[in-house]
Copies of this chain bind each other. A is one copy, B any other.
Amino acid sequence: MPTDALSLTLAALADPTRRAILSRLALGETSVAELGKPFDITPPAVTKHLKVLQRAGLITQTRQAQYRPCRINPKPLKEVSVWIEAYRRLWEQRLDRLEDYLQKLQEKEAR
Contacts and interface: CB of A to CB of B under 8 A. Distances in A.
Contacts of A22: 87
Interface stretch (A13-21, A38-46, A59-67, A102-110): A13-21
Interface residues of A, number: 30
Copies in the complex: 2
Nearest to A22: B87
A22 B111 CA distance: 38
Contacts of A4: 16
A16 B7 contact: yes
Given A23-B87, A87-B22, A87-B77, A2 B15 contact: yes
18 contacts: A2-B15, A2-B16, A6-B16, A7-B14, A7-B15, A11-B14, A14-B14, A19-B83, A22-B87, A23-B86, A23-B90, A26-B90, A26-B91, A27-B94, A74-B88, A77-B88, A80-B80, A81-B84
Interface of A: 2, 4, 6-8, 10-11, 13-16, 19, 22-23, 26-28, 72, 74, 77, 80-81, 83-84, 86-88, 90-91, 94
